[in-house]
Structure 1
Amino acid sequence: MIATEVTEGEFKGWKTWPEEPFEYEAAGPFYLRTDEKGPVAAFRAERKHMNAGGVMHGGCLMTFADFSLFAIAHQGMEGVYGVTVAFNSEFLDGAIEGELIEARGEVLRQGRSITFVRGIITADGRPVLNFSGTIKFRKPKT
């Protein structure tokens, strides 16, 4: 999957995957780039991401973590389609509206058909979710 560069707004210069309708339109949009520390994914917490208690809904954090698996592993996946086949997470704290939500991590192992990734999501630098997952490469959709 080829990422599209963002041309305006807070995330100008970042990339996103607009052909992913759930992650881009419904839950996100979420963004990715590589900086001096490596791959990073991010978005700004909005009211639509919150639960009735005023903190980010756990499903939103897990959706962003799933996006982040691919953002962290994307350099080894250009032009390849993949699916998440395993996912684990632990909630550490709550994120609130207005905070910058970021994910960083590492590829633990990348093979020909499967990749193992782990990472951590922060809210304004405060850890809120620890995650790991496995991506299985698939033949491109036709």
Structure 2
Amino acid sequence: MSEAVETSYGQLSVMENGEFAGWRYWQGDPFETRSGPFYYRREEDGSYVSAFRAEPRHMNGGGFMHGGCLLTFADFALFAIATDELNGDHAVTLNLAGDFLGSVADGALVEARGEITRGGGKTIFVRGIITGDGKPALSFTGIIRRLTRR
């Protein structure tokens, strides 16, 4: 099903088949694994895109994606967007904020793209947008703090 690489903070795996064949995902975060699975890959332009397929378990009582699911995915995307900046270092989210722009229906392809607005040190600032089938669903900003290796 997947090829895996062990790191100090989880297991980076690559899907070998299905819709997300060739995409990377993390094993080792129980909440994220249960919430997703969420995937990411490098695009031809060097940026990163994160994605997952919306399922009934991601929906709220109104039949649209739960806001908590979108924010959980945004948190995942922060780290995917900052992959190169982090260079394998462990980090934590200091701040995550989002503005809901539209709904996401069951079955939609949910994607996140973004950019680092400031990096180069222990604190990394990221902004991005999440879409559902190409339509804006959430804009987000976040701050990541790189942790010192022990």
User: TM-score when scaled to structure 2?
Assistant: 0.89
Give the one of 45, 57, 79 matched to 1:48.
57
Superposition CA RMSD, Å: 1.3
Q: Does 1:76 align with 2:85?
A: yes
Q: Does 1:33 align with 2:53?
A: no
Deviation track 1:23-76 (CA, whole Å, cap 9, x = no partner) reads: 12x100000001124210000000000001000000000000000000100122
Which amino acid is the alignment partner of residue 39 of structure 2? Y
Give the one of 132, 139, 143 matched to 1:130.
139
Within 2, Cα distance between the matches of 1:127 and 1:36? 22
Give runs of aligned pairs for residues 1-142 of structure 1, distance below 5 A. Answer: 3-24=12-33, 26-37=34-45, 38-140=47-149
Which runs of 5 or more structure 1 residues have no equivalent in the other structure? none
User: TM-score when scaled to structure 1?
Assistant: 0.93
Tell me how many residue pairs correspond in the alignment: 140
Which amino acid is the alignment partner of residue 59 of structure 1? G
Within 2, Cα distance between the matches of 1:5 and 1:49? 23
Within 2, Cα distance between the matches of 1:70 and 1:55? 25
Deviation track 1:57-103 (CA, whole Å, cap 9, x = no partner) reads: 00000000000000100122132110000111000001010000000
Which amino acid is the alignment partner of residue 65 of structure 2? M
Within 2, Cα distance between the matches of 1:19 and 1:9? 21
| Displacement over 2 Å in runs of 4+ | none
Higher relative contact order (CA closer than 8 Å, sequence separation 6+) = 1
Aligned-residue identity in percent: 50
Which runs of 5 or more structure 2 residues have no equivalent in the other structure? 1-8
Within 2, Cα distance between the matches of 1:49 and 1:29? 11
